[in-house]
Amino acid sequence: MSWTDERVETLKKMWGEGQSASQIAKELGGVTRNAVIGKVHRLGLSNRTSGAAASKPETKEKPAAAAPKPEAKPRPQPKTEAARPVQDPASEQKPAGPARRQIIPAGQPLPPQPSANEISPEALAKVNEIEKKAKKISLMELTERTCKWPVGDPATEDFWFCGLPVQAGKPYCEAHVGVAFQPMSARRDRKR
């Protein structure tokens, strides 16, 4: 498979949307995530953060600089616009949302709720659905790869942990990660 304009376009679009290289590769087909990443780099769009570019004060960058990127891409090409169900908010009853009302251990600093908790309705729906399939494991059953999302009231029997397989490095399964962490696809570091 070669990088046709269409494929490159898809690549750009998906990468821009924050899709992972593996997802993009799967979508495109015929390529591995390595190929995708390689291409991404060659295209010079490795940084998903267009605005505040992560400048490396360390390595003495050549003053070559220049290459100003106005970055004004009117790219409203809907094409294969993914369906956007957008469940109405009526899909909530009283699921004892674990999104809040969570027991805080002892630490007092609890800023993770600066402003309104606006969790995407899709994410919520996902959680509600996944909670049905939750393994409902106990505290003792938690392992390195079980979702540690608490459900219910710890003061009652009506309490368990999700227990579904976690994503990777994260303490929760995919669905709960979605609720816990906002689509903040701006983790740029690495100290290599």
Q: Contact residues for DNA (CB under 7 A)?
A: 1-3, 19-23, 31-35, 37-42, 46, 145, 167-170, 190-192
Shortest separation between residue 15's beta carbon and DNA, angstroms = 8
Shortest separation between residue 162's beta carbon and DNA, angstroms = 17
List Cα–Cα distances, 41 to 11, 47, 153, 168, 190, in angstroms: 12, 9, 48, 24, 17
Shortest separation between residue 51's beta carbon and DNA, angstroms = 16
C-beta neighbour count of 34 within 10 angstroms: 11
C-beta neighbour count of 110 within 10 angstroms: 9
Hey, what amino acid is at 134? A
Burial class (CB in 10 A: 0-12, 13-18, 19+), 78: exposed
Helix or strand or coil: residue 160?
Answer: strand
Cβ closest to DNA, residue 25 vs residue 162:
25
Cβ closest to DNA, residue 38 vs residue 154:
38
Cβ closest to DNA, residue 37 vs residue 180:
37
Cβ closest to DNA, residue 32 vs residue 91:
32
